[in-house]
Structure 1
Amino acid sequence: MDSGEEQDVPDSQGRKKRYHRHTPRQIQELESMFKICPHPDEKQRMQLSRDLGLEPRQIKFWFQNRRTQMKAQQERSDNCLLRAENDKIRCENIAMREALKNVICPSCGGPPATDDTYFDEHKLRLENARLKEELDRVSSLASKYLGRPIPQLPPVQPVSISSLDLSVGGYSNPGISPSLDLDLLCRSSSSAYPYAFPAAVSEIEKPLMVELATNAMEEVIRLVQTDEPLWVKSGDGKDILQLDTYDRMFQRPGQQLKFPDIRIEASRDSAIVFMSTITLLDMFMDANKWVELFPTIVSKARTIEVLASGMAGSRSGSLVLMYEEIQVLSPVVPTREFCFLRYCQQIDQGMWALADVSVEYPQDGQLASSSRSRRLPSGCLIEEMPNGYSKITWVEHNEIEEKNPIHMLFRDLITSGMAFGAHRWVTTLQRMCERFACLTAAGLPSRDLGVAPSPDGKRSMMKLAQRMVSNFCANVGASNGHKWTTLSGSNDVGVRVTLHKSTDAGQPNGVVLSAATSIWLPISAESVFSFFKDERTRTQWDVLSNGNTVQEVAHISNGSHPGNCISLLRGLNSGQNTMLILQECCTDASGSVVVYSPIDLPAINIVMSGEDPSYIPILPSGFTILPDGRSAGGQGASSSSNPMGGSSGSLVTVAFQILMSSLPSAKLNLESVMTVNNLISTTVQQIKAALNCSDII
């Protein structure tokens, strides 16, 4: 939490302006006064001003904001109570009507007279009219207090029991935990966000957000451009933020001492990327493009509101309120969620700065992540370079309070800063910029292996592979839209499963079962990646290939590293000449991904002809390979031949997606769970055997 001490902050004209944050004591005193008197007069405000060391104007605005919050909360509570009462009455009416159908007249043995039925329906109409009037009254009051119209509540849908039979009954199996919770909520493939975002930012909050973003921009520029003593180099060449110097420079003494359970993560890195500055800014400021640019890091993002659109063509002056969820590609590592302001500003000819800073918005919203994450002023400086290149210097500065202990398997990776630090963002950006360049290039490099697609066909295959990787990344992490249930397993992570209904275009319709596990291997991440990438060793881990070798029939390079490529594989002697495998391999200094999906011959013909692949159904499975974060002899520097750098081992996540049924009403039985559990377990055993790691538990 920020301290309440005042500081001088220079504005854009170099003048000093006072910036103040309330201390916990000030807030406590204000809250106590608010409970006694929500509308203090001028004399009371002056007394509070003297007691708390605040200006009367600050006291006045605090009470105004607090009253607005209380009124909005009360109206939301009233709406919820009214809706619950409406649901209760509706259910009672339905039950009464059903009971009346079975009533028998004691005199004649026939059904009840129709007059009674009409009378009951008439009472229902009167009651519904009364409830509608009450709802209109509450909505009118809420509209008056909030300053904007409140939309009518949607009609209440009848609550239906899930058609998925998720109970295991009395069946006992030694391979599955007896306490297994199979109450898996069948989510949609377009999973919801953790809370309902408000329709608009209030006029009171906008000036505060603009000031917050401006101050964050000034801090980010200083963080990027200042070296020692603010940043010092570690033994492996990484920039380390000196927190004491940071507190003195930004006049925040004692900030880190107030909450010993909160961990500060700060990192800085820079790189040259093959993408124009304007294109980068456009993708950074657009939430959908932001996810597309970082599919392995950003699991979901949304623009809540555009507060300022900025200059056309340069994005300078743009200010947006955004939400994002970032992840490590494993169901073991909780995601981090941020609600933050993103501000873009051109600071010189050919130079732009981007600043992010968290905001407590919506005021009463709680993010669903198991860790409290707050983005301190972070961002990047982007310099325009010749020939379509840009130099980017990235700063990550976050305040993290873990609610649950970090899983021991990923503890070193996270605490070292490799999981969420600037280095991961920059190296991923380098790789993705190369991929986008290959996608838009006039002549795409390929290897003629018997299938020679046209340039349009190569682009179509790259787009399909990109969607395949994005789908895989969205379904392998611990996003709050997932509900992973742990089965028993041979390691402390265990096999984890989750269900979702697949309804999006480009995915098979029905119920999809996802299963994943993570393991540690005492082998470098680069060696493990080479093992998975090589089609000659595929039979050693692919339990679905039935021992049949595969042949690469098409190859597209999508980056300078030879490991970044898209392949089309064909099984030999499999008896299924109509089925091929589309595979994409991605690797950079932060980790690697190998994703594949079966695809039939008619679909491949559509892709090769250059047609739109958006509606070709794919269901990807694959692997993520990460360095374990442990230093190997202090040699952590990376190189072009060893992009992972020196690491003593690797963290491998194995993930499968299986279409259980094309019917959304399909039932999940224990046999399906056992099948996918055995599939994952056998794959892990074969990987360890092939890499001579069978003794690793």
Structure 2
Amino acid sequence: MLQARWSEMFPCVVARASTMEIISSGMGGTRSGSIQLMRAELQVLSPLVPIREVTFLRFCKQHADGLWAIVDVSVDGVLRPDSGTGAGPAGYMGCRLLPSGCIVEDMQNGYAKVTWVVHAEYDEAAVHELYRPLLRSGQALGARRWLASLQRQCEYHAILCSNPHPNHGDRHEPISPAGRRCMLRLAQRMADNFCAGVCATAAQKWRRLDEWRVEGAGGRDPASGEDKVRMMARQSVGAPGEPPGVVLSATTSVRLPGTPPQRVFDYLRDEQRRGEWDILANGEAMQEMDHIAKGQHHGNAVSLLRPNATSGNQNNMLILQETCTDASGSLVVYAPVDVQSMHVVMGGGDSAYVSLLPSGFAILPDGHTAPAAATDPSPQGSSPNAHGGSSNNSPGSLVTVAFQILVNNLPTAKLTVESVDTVSNLLSCTIQKIKSALQASIISP
């Protein structure tokens, strides 16, 4: 019922949320009977899936001792009656919540049983065909996605409360609880800014450029055609937390048929193979200096990486990285940070003034199901298409790659075609290197 906490528990699903009006605050000093008018932007991390903006009523009711129901229903048809046809005002994003929500039951043992229901209609024509199977499967914005995010975040909070020093690395001294909290806050800001850049939410003022096509990247399959890269730019005036200048965002999504999402995630978070695709690694492995666990799965963590480079400039740079994974998908987000700033943060200093521009990957299942007799028994998880046996309809991954790069340190500078080409080609080459390492085919828009 608190939109800030609601957004915090579903960071990859809820881009923005606000309470427009509290119609009823509840009865008898409780939230039972409370009704509030809310607005939210729901996202799937890809430029090929438009933001879903929904305006809805949220109703909370206690049905019995320890049993609560929270239900949402769209009011677009009431506030904007002509929007129900899908051809209404510009604010209507082709999505409407029919009664949806959750039932929360106290199990009397420190656990809660949560039952989730999503009942919605949306305009499939607005979604690129690569992502339609995922949305139809319910793994994109259905109940599975909400519950997977809720489970992961609850596990994260439980570990924070139970383990005062959930980190390891080559440091002689563990990070203090205050330093850990500051580092986690910084990583959360980094991940939020990454998502805002991928989906172009209203949280950041991006200016949309023409879609860029990148031709002739090395190793491209002729059948894949050209990569389409969505380019956006914004002027940063040097507000706390970001460098001043012109920031360019380059984002694209591709499908890797026959390549499971877990395999892609494990490869991208492997610091020993980082040099195969990350220009910041200078062709070498990276060293993990610190590791803060965010869940039982080793892939849910915030890490501090150090390039194994001999350059004096490189030695002043570290990589802050957040990785998270659950049943619905995975995220690998990173940003270069300077050593002095991270020493302040790890000592418990204010992380709000650390400048960073995030890049990274969102990895989702592609929504395709395996044929009954076509499972891959390989214990190594090798891609079937590496042996020529994969088809375009075999289960695989949807990978969104996004870079945010400072192309000029003057906010008033003009954006050049050369800058756009450079960033776009860097993104395309990164995809090709990952494809080569995973021995995967690529289907791009």
Do Structure 1 and Structure 2 share a fold, with TM-score over 0.5? yes
| TM-score normalised according to structure 2 size | 0.84
Change (3 A) 1:410 1:419: same
Superposed displacement of residue 357, structure 1 = 0.6
The one-letter code matched in structure 2 to 1:333 is V
The answer to whether the aligner puts 1:509 opposite 2:240 as a matched pair is: no
- Counterparts of 2:119 and 2:201 in 1: how far apart (Å)? 22
> Kindly tell me: are residues 508 and 438 of structure 1, through their superposed partners in 2, closer, same or farther at Cα, counting changes over 3 Å?
farther
Output the amino acid matched with 1:591: G
| Distance in 2 (alpha carbons) for counterparts of 1:376 and 1:696 | 34
* Structure-2 change in CA distance of 1:673 and 1:435 (3 Å): same
Q: 685, 689, 693: which one pairs with 2:432?
A: 685
Alpha carbons of structure 1 residues 678 and 385: separation in structure 2 relative to 1, 3 Å:
same
Tell me whether 1:617 sits opposite 2:355 in the alignment: yes
The letter of the residue matching 1:355 is: V
**Residue of 588, 591, 595 corresponding to 2:329:** 591
Secondary structure of 1:580's counterpart equals strand
In structure 1, the residue matched to 2:231 is 497
| Rounded Cα–Cα distance in structure 2 between residues aligned with 1:550 and 1:338 | 42
Question: Which letter does structure 1 place at the counterpart of 2:190?
Answer: M
Distance 1:555 1:413 in 2: 32
User: 1:507–1:619: 8 Å Cα contact kept in structure 2?
Assistant: yes
CA RMSD of aligned residues (A): 2.5
Provide the secondary structure at the position in 2 that maps to 1:614: helix
Larger RCO (CA under 8 A, 6+ residues apart)? 2
Give the Å deviation of 1:661.
3.0
Alignment of 1:163-178 (within 5 A): none
Distance across 2 between alignment mates of 1:557 and 1:380: 28
**CA–CA distance in structure 2, aligned partners of residues 398 and 696 of structure 1:** 29
CA distance in 2, matches of 1:387, 1:556: 28
Percentage of matched positions with identical amino acids:
50
Length-normalised TM-score, structure 1: 0.55
Number of equivalences: 404
User: What letter matches 1:613 in structure 2?
Assistant: S
Q: Does 1:412 align with 2:146?
A: no
Aligned-pair distance for 1:433?
1.5
Cα distance in 1 for residues equivalent to 2:410 and 2:438: 40
Equivalent residue, structure 2, for 1:49: none
Q: Bigger radius of gyration, 1 or 2? A: 1
The unaligned stretches of length 5 or more in structure 1 are: 1-284, 636-641
Say whether residues 1:462 and 2:208 are aligned partners: no
Match of 2:408 among 657, 661, 679: 661
Shift of 1:695: 7.0
Hey, what's the Cα distance between the residues in 2 that align with 1:367 and 1:511?
32
User: How far, CA to CA, are the matches of 1:611 and 1:683 in structure 2?
Assistant: 34
1:674 pairs, out of 397, 421, 431, with 421
Deviations 1:598-648 (A, max 9, x none): 11111111111112312212211000100000001359xxxxxx9xxxx71
The answer to whether the 8 Å contact 2:254/2:443 transfers is no
Match of 1:485 among 204, 210, 213: 210
How many Å apart are 1:456 and its aligned residue? 1.8
Q: Residue 323 of structure 2 aligns to a residue in which SS?
A: strand
Give a deviation string over 1:10-31, Cα, whole Å, max 9, x none: xxxxxxxxxxxxxxxxxxxxxx
Amino acid at match of 1:384: D
Map of 2:271 onto structure 1: 535
Note if 1:435 corresponds to 2:156.
Answer: yes
Partners of 1:312 and 1:367 lie apart in 2 by 40
Rounded to whole Å, the distance in 2 between the matches of 1:335 and 1:492 is 25
The one-letter code matched in structure 1 to 2:212 is: L
SS at match of 1:310: coil
Instruction: Write 1 or 2 for the structure with the bigger share of helix.
Output: 1
Contact 1:345/1:352 (<8 A) preserved: yes
Contact 2:26-2:33 within 8 A present in 1 as well: yes
Aligned residue in 1 for 2:388: none
Q: Secondary structure at the match of 1:495?
A: strand
Q: What whole-Å deviation, never above 9, does each CA across 1:13-64 have from its counterpart, x for those lacking one?
A: xxxxxxxxxxxxxxxxxxxxxxxxxxxxxxxxxxxxxxxxxxxxxxxxxxxx
What do the CA deviations read for 1:76-133 (whole angstroms, capped 9, x no partner)?
Answer: xxxxxxxxxxxxxxxxxxxxxxxxxxxxxxxxxxxxxxxxxxxxxxxxxxxxxxxxxx
Shift of 1:531: 0.3
- Per-residue deviation, 1:371: 4.1
**Structure 2 letter corresponding to 1:337:** E
Partner of 1:328: 44
- Report if aligned partners of 1:372, 1:400 keep a CA contact under 8 Å in 2: yes
Q: Does 2:318 align with 1:571?
A: no
- Deviation of 1:410 after TM superposition, in Å, equals 1.1
Partner AA of 2:349 in structure 1: E
Structure 2 residue 98 is matched with structure 1 residue 379:
no
CA contact (8 A) 1:344 1:352 kept: yes
Change (3 A) 1:433 1:453: same
Contact 1:334 1:370 in 2 (8 A): no
Q: Write out aligned runs for 1:341-356 (5 A).
A: 341-356=57-72
1-structure distance, mates of 2:178, 2:360: 27
Deviation at 1:445, TM superposition (A): 1.4
1:502 deviation in Å? 3.4
1:537-552 residue pairs with structure 2 within 5 A?
Answer: 537-552=273-288
